[in-house]
Structure 1
Amino acid sequence: MARVATGLGVRELAEAANVSTQTISRFERGEELKPATLAAIRAALETAGVEFIPENGGGAGVRLRKGGEGR
């Protein structure tokens, strides 16, 4: 959801996170990834303007930073 909201394609996110496109696909399928890989993907999404919302009774989520994308 976060990748689509930013307008990033799989290749673009993979490049920004310095991981393979297969890794992004595995992530989006919900497969387990190494913590360092998850951190790299999260950092790339945050750079693109995504804010991660912690669990607050309604579940964890994401949103775009106010003012649009960070790219």
Structure 2
Amino acid sequence: MSLFVTLSSGNGMKKDIYPEQLRAARALIGWTREDLASASGVTVRTLARIEGAQTIPRQTTLEALSSALEAAGIEFISENGGGPGVRLTSSPVRS
């Protein structure tokens, strides 16, 4: 069983993000842990612990990771009967 954390979005909705989703998201866009750490401001060590299900991240850490990946074109898919996942959006969000 994987650890997961619930991320509250700005619109009041919550979504679960699993360590597997973080790893899959990085793979989908070809990012290393170092790339995601740089884009999110989270240390590589912390990211490795989150992806390895060794810790449950703080809300702010998860928001930083999620925001960086979403800006790079990742969409998190909730566990809605088919299981959680990630996919590319039609176009990345540009800041």
Would you call these one fold, judging by a TM-score over 0.5?
Answer: yes
Secondary structure of the equivalent of 2:36? Answer: helix
* Structure 2 unaligned regions, length at least 5: 1-23
TM-score (norm 2): 0.66
Q: What is the CA-CA distance between 1:41 and the residue it aligns to?
A: 0.3
> Where does 1:1-71 land on structure 2 (aligned, <5 Å)?
1-30=24-53, 31-66=55-90, 70=92
Q: Which runs of 4+ in 1 moved over 6 A?
A: none
Q: What is the CA-CA distance between 1:33 and the residue it aligns to?
A: 0.8
- How many residue pairs match? The answer is 69
Q: Identity of paired residues, percent? A: 45
Q: How many Å separate the matches in 2 of 1:65 and 1:24?
A: 23
Q: Which has the higher strand share?
A: 2
* Structure 1 unaligned regions, length at least 5: none
Over the aligned positions, Cα root-mean-square deviation in angstroms equals 1.4
Q: Which has the higher helix share?
A: 1
Q: How many Å separate the matches in 1 of 2:27 and 2:47?
A: 12
Q: How many Å separate the matches in 1 of 2:68 and 2:50?
A: 14
Q: What is the CA-CA distance between 1:55 and the residue it aligns to?
A: 2.3
Q: How many Å separate the matches in 1 of 2:60 and 2:37?
A: 14
TM-score (norm 1): 0.86
